[in-house]
Amino acid sequence: MFKLTPMMVALNIAAISSASAMTIEPDPQNPGGYLISKVELQETVAAKTSNPMYAIWAKALETRSNAVVEAILPGRSDNPSNVKRVERVFPQAQWDFLTHMAAPEYTYTRFLRAIGKFPAFCGEYSDGRNADAICKKSIVTAFAHFSQETGGHIAKDNVSDNPLGLEEWQQALVHVREMGWSEGQPGYTTGCGQNDWQNRRWPCAQGQGYFGRGAKQLSYHFNYGAFSEVMFDGDATVLLNNPGLVADSWLNLASAIWFFLTPQAPKPAMLHVIDRTWVPSQREQDAGIGYGFGTTINVINGGIECGEQNKNKGQPVNRIRYWEGLAHYYNIPIETDEENTCWQQTPYGSLNLNGATDVLYTNWEGDWAYYSDRPGGYSFECKLVGYQTAYSALVPGDYEKCVTNFYKSHASWPQVTVVDELTPPDDEPPVGGVAAWDASKVYLKGDQVSYKNKIYEAKWWTQGNTPDSTQPWKFIRDVQ
């Protein structure tokens, strides 16, 4: 079985990152700003994400172009390999069997396209794992949750409303929009218009509603924006401006597949619970969190549905009932170390993983540690944290955006520009018998420096403040 032990080298990585040299130059085009090298930045992010799991997570979120996806049709010979696997293990007849009550917006073709967008869903394994079995189990798991999130929930013996006598686990995908909501209603706009990083990255469109849509009932502007970036080559505005696409196109199912593949650190991706790429940390094991369908409930809605106080609550009871019915019908084997329930688990939101060395995080935040050898004591680096920020460790380019504070999420952060190559400072020390200013050096009252052919003297303690643009320095004389 393919297993990685996350963060076994975390402390060493942190030490390397903390001790790594970084060249920081004043920005001649931006008084008070600084330049750092793209090469050094890339080396830093590589060190911080050197655990192999980061590459696996990022790989799971790779996508195909929409042009390729929209050409997918049942039985088409050019369908991607993971789509062909789905057609083999879960053909149209099985889709029909589980969707007698489904809204017409959900179709088998759209289901195949949603899967075709993400090669990792029902993808290949090179280490001997049974890809067909994992694929089938993934689909059945998804349908168990569809039956709860968007299902009919009509009793089998309710002949008037359920004339076919369908099991509740056969009643998935009844709702394409959240009940009580329709297009044109500007609902679920909490937080829209605020001057914060969420609105800078995912700005709400006037008059749009971000209520639940699709198989997973995608809700709120930050989720629409993040999903839009994945679907449309980094463009958050497509779905922010037209959220109805999540109801009326193949995105109604793609949104659920995206959620299935996306880790919400410290919560793992549901796929990696099912295929056992994820290995629960010791703290997770101590909190009752391990393999099995129950952990997928914790990933989705643990704060409301997991823990002993929720043992008999309707939502988790339904999910478990649907999973067990589907698993029995489709002959999904349950391993001895798998639990269908999560009442014995601590919800992820209540699990304190701060300081854990065997847990990986997936979001970047400004590192506020003090670095005595860097201008102003700033780190000029970002660190991994276990909560949502403007910057993801799984999105190429987001580390640079974090360091440059692209979405203005860290107050009082120095102005940073990343350049391909740093140029040496104008002065070659000494000038006029006075050494050139050094951005990393601490200067005390009375210390003199040369800068751009001028001599300056420190008025008090200073570090990283350019002599020609900041208060701690006074001009002494020009040097010809």
Quick check: 196 pLDDT over 80? yes
Q: How confident is the model at residue 48 (pLDDT cuts 50, 70, 90)?
A: very high
- Which tens digits make up the pLDDT trace of 98-125? 999 999 999 999 999 999 999 999 999 9
Give the C-alpha distances (Å, rounded to integers) separating 63 from 66, 115, 129, 182, 392.
Answer: 9, 10, 22, 30, 16
- The larger pLDDT score, comparing residue 356 to residue 30, is at 30
* Residue 16 pLDDT greater than 90, yes or no: no
User: What confidence tier does 27 reach under pLDDT thresholds 50, 70, 90?
Assistant: confident
**More reliable by pLDDT, 120 or 16:** 120
Q: Is the pLDDT of residue 62 over 60?
A: yes
453 with 479: CB under 8 angstroms? yes
For residue 149, the surrounding DSSP H or E stretch is: helix 131-149
What integer is the mean pLDDT of 243-267?
A: 95
Q: State the distance between the two ends of the chain, measured CA to CA, in whole angstroms.
A: 72
Domains of the chain: 10-51+360-419 (no CATH), 428-480 (2.10.10.20)
Mean pLDDT throughout 356-366?
88
Q: What is the mean pLDDT of residues 223-237?
A: 96
Beta-bridge partners for 364: 384, 391
Paired tokens of 207: 């008059």
Q: Determine the Cα–Cα distance for residues 284 and 297; give it in Å rounded to an integer.
A: 15
Distance from C-alpha of 471 to C-alpha of 428, rounded to nearest angstrom = 24
Residue pair 269/261 in contact by the 8 Å Cβ criterion: yes
Please give the average per-residue pLDDT across 237-264, as a whole number. Answer: 97
Q: Which pLDDT does position 82 carry in this prediction?
A: 98
pLDDT confidence bin for 429, thresholds 50/70/90: low
Q: Is the peptide bond preceding residue 186 cis, with omega within 30 degrees of 0?
A: no
Quote the CA–CA distance of 118 and 470 in Å, as a whole number. Answer: 51
If 0-12 CB within 10 Å is exposed, 13-18 middle and 19+ buried, where does residue 96 land?
exposed
Q: What is the predicted pLDDT for the residue at 437?
A: 84
20: pLDDT confidence band, cut at 50, 70 and 90? low
Confidence of residue 298 (pLDDT cuts 50, 70, 90): very high
DSSP 8-state secondary structure symbol assigned to residue 109: H
Q: Give the number of other Cβ atoms within 10 Å of residue 131's Cβ.
A: 18
**Mean pLDDT, the chain, whole residue set:** 90
Distance CA 287, CA 347 (A): 9
pLDDT value for 425: 56
* pLDDT higher than 60, residue 378: yes
pLDDT at 424: 63
Q: How does pLDDT run across 152-167, given as a tens digit for each residue? A: 999 999 999 999 999 9
- 303 vs 30, which has greater pLDDT? 303
Higher pLDDT, 433 or 338: 338
Residue 18 is predicted with a pLDDT of 44
The answer on pLDDT for 76 being more than 60 is: yes
How far is Cα 214 from Cα 172, in angstroms, rounded to an integer?
A: 12
| pLDDT band at residue 30 under the 50/70/90 scheme | confident
pTM, to two decimals? 0.84
Chain position carrying tokens 């409301």: 304
Residue 13: what pLDDT? 35
Q: What is the DSSP string of 285-319?
A: HHTT--SSHHHHHHHHHHHHH-SGGGTT-HHHHHH
Share of the chain above pLDDT 70, in %: 94
CA distance 241 to 236: 9
Give the model's confidence band at 428: pLDDT under 50 very low, under 70 low, under 90 confident, else very high: low
CA gap 242, 184 in Å, rounded: 11
pLDDT attached to residue 69: 98
Mean pLDDT of 263-275: 93
358 versus 94: the higher-pLDDT residue is 94
> Hey, which residues are catalytic here?
149
Look at residue 356 in the predicted model and tell me its pLDDT.
75
